[in-house]
Amino acid sequence: FQPDLIHLFSPALMSVSGMTAGRQRQIPVIANYQTDLPGYANVYGLPIFSQIMRDWLRYIHNGCHLTLAPSQWTLRELQTWGFRRLRRWGRGVNSHRFHPQHARPEWRARLLNGRPPDSLLCIYVGRLAAEKRVDLLLETARTPGIALTIIGDGAMRNELEQLFDGTDTYFTGYLYGEELAHAFASADAFMFTGGHETFGQVVQEAMASGLPPIIINQGGITDLVSNGVNGFHCPPDPHAFAEAARKLLEDETLRREMSAEARRMAEARPWEVLMEELEGHYYEAWEMNDRFKRRYGQPTTRPLWFGWGR
């Protein structure tokens, strides 16, 4: 086992073994920051654990040659927490798998589930959990002319079904692969309410499918959506989400223009481009490690046991 570089994708779980291997072999270590664990802890009423997790993650990431953040929003957040040697590395999207051409009348009928065919079909795709704030879509579900379909499952499904009782909201459960691609392309708009996303790949997949996204104005997803151009940013207020959806319902020209802009953004982010960026980060970490070894005879990062939380 003699890799040229170690890339940690789950530093909170695999940090010790990955960092130890890197130091023993004097090879560069890169870590992704891709899940807002401190934010999740706050959502679930564990602020003390949130601070502990933040300190632990800062310690681990600052022991790496580079930390890759998927969005500018996340990068700025990590800077305020004291993370160092940060670089931005976003995510690509398969704009062939997720494409407006995958729209199917039978899929639109399935997602409408008996509601009027001329409804504005808005979909949410994701886990049904507290941090996703799906409750913010309640006013949208109550708006005449709008059909809300929730795709996904999770611990809060029963609670959400009770909350949305009295509306015609349709819960599909999870969809995967081609089914999900057909669902995206057969809808009219995408809604996303989770404010703790470091990037939000599902938003990018919706945009590749030609859906104008209506998103919460928090987290890494704000990097993807230009407010008023290819979608809408909304404060965490149910009425704001409903009003944004109503604009798309009442203005078909706006909906078409935003759809085209959303698709255009996604087409500019193929995985090939993002992998070239990643290769550049790999070379930077390798050169950083090599320079330091030539100068000092040891790698750039400190031992794991030194400097907790610094």
Query: pLDDT by residue (tens digit) across 142-151?
Result: 999 999 999 9
Q: What is the pLDDT of residue 12?
A: 65
Q: What is the pLDDT of residue 11?
A: 63
Beta strands of the chain (E only): which ranges? 6-8, 29-32, 66-69, 86-88, 120-125, 146-151, 170-173, 189-192, 213-216, 232-234
Q: What is the pLDDT of residue 308?
A: 32
- CATH of the domain spanning 104-267: 3.40.50.2000
Global pTM? 0.89
Q: What is the pLDDT of residue 298?
A: 59
Q: What is the pLDDT of residue 15?
A: 65
Q: What is the pLDDT of residue 304?
A: 40
CATH 3.40.50.2000 domain extents, the chain: 6-92+270-296, 104-267
- CATH of the domain spanning 6-92+270-296: 3.40.50.2000
Weakly modelled stretches of the chain, pLDDT under 50: 301-310
Q: What is the pLDDT of residue 113?
A: 98
Secondary structure class of 185 (helix, strand, coil)? helix
- Report d(CA 22, CA 48) in Å as an integer: 31
pLDDT tens-place string over residues 292-307: 777 766 555 444 433 3
